Amino acid sequence: MKLFVGLGNPGAKYAGNRHNIGFMAVERIAADHGFGPWRAKFQGLITEGRLGGEKMLLLKPQTFMNRSGQSVAAALQFYKLAPADITVFHDELDLAPGKARVKQGGGHAGHNGLRSLHDHIGDGYGRVRLGIGHPGHKDRVAGYVLHDFAKADAGWLDDLLRGIGDGAPDLAAGDASRFMNAIAQRTAPPRSSKSAPAKPDAPKAPRPPAQAEEPPARPPSALQRLVDRFR
């Protein structure tokens, strides 16, 4: 059994925030792969299902972002999972919007949700970093992540979430490369040529050989005219 965790803040007020892209990711996985209903447990909302051959749990902590580790630690202890069995989906300021990266272990880079996880379960869990871009100055970060995605973001955001849903079974199986490829197929699909390549010119039909012209008729002689009069 493995656990996918989406990070975010609970409640309708925050549902469309950039900070909640982790919630959006696990919600998309649950919807695309027929998981059961979400139910309250471990200070969060949890659902069960399968991804390929793996039995999976999806968790959305409802403790607010900076206390996410409490919910994850409770689920980990109950199911007797190790940190390596957990993959966390979270927003990433240092990636361009629509980009994604898979990482195992490492620091929290100041992310409050990851900081809480480090405090409760250590740093040995996997992460899927979901790019939301940076507002340009650190003083603007709090307002930026707690603001809804712009309407202009709808296209790339939907493509990214679709790719996550497509590749989720590969991620569950431990194949990060195939997971990333599934995302790329949605966010940067191969471009087809807009116009068909020019066809080679058809060979021209050979001209028919020139035919000899008949020489113009000569005018009749005087003798011929006389003969013709008596015919």
Q: Decide if 147 is catalytic.
A: no
Catalytic residue among 19, 108, 118, 134: 19
pLDDT in 10s for each residue of the chain, 231 residues: 999 999 999 999 999 999 999 999 999 999 999 999 999 999 999 999 999 989 999 999 999 999 999 999 999 999 999 999 999 999 999 999 999 999 998 888 889 999 999 999 999 999 999 999 999 998 999 999 999 999 999 999 999 999 999 999 999 999 999 999 999 999 987 765 554 555 555 555 555 554 444 445 555 665 566 555 655
**Long-range contacts of range 42-50, CB-CB < 8 Å, 24 or more positions apart?**
42/71, 42/72, 42/74, 42/75, 42/78, 43/70, 43/71, 43/74, 44/71, 44/75, 46/75
Report the alpha-carbon distance of residue 60 to residue 27 in Å, rounded. 9
Report the alpha-carbon distance of residue 58 to residue 48 in Å, rounded. 6
The CATH number that domain 2-187 falls under is 3.40.50.1470
pLDDT (0 to 100) of residue 42: 97
180-197: string of b/e by CB count within 10 Å (b at 16+)? bebbeebbeeeeeeeeee
Measured N-to-C along each axis, helices 154-172 and 176-187 cross at an angle, to the nearest 10 degrees, of: 160
pLDDT (0 to 100) of residue 106: 85
In the chain, where the domains are located: 2-187
Q: Are residues 93 and 134 in contact, defined by beta-carbon separation less than 8 angstroms?
A: yes
Report the alpha-carbon distance of residue 147 to residue 80 in Å, rounded. 36
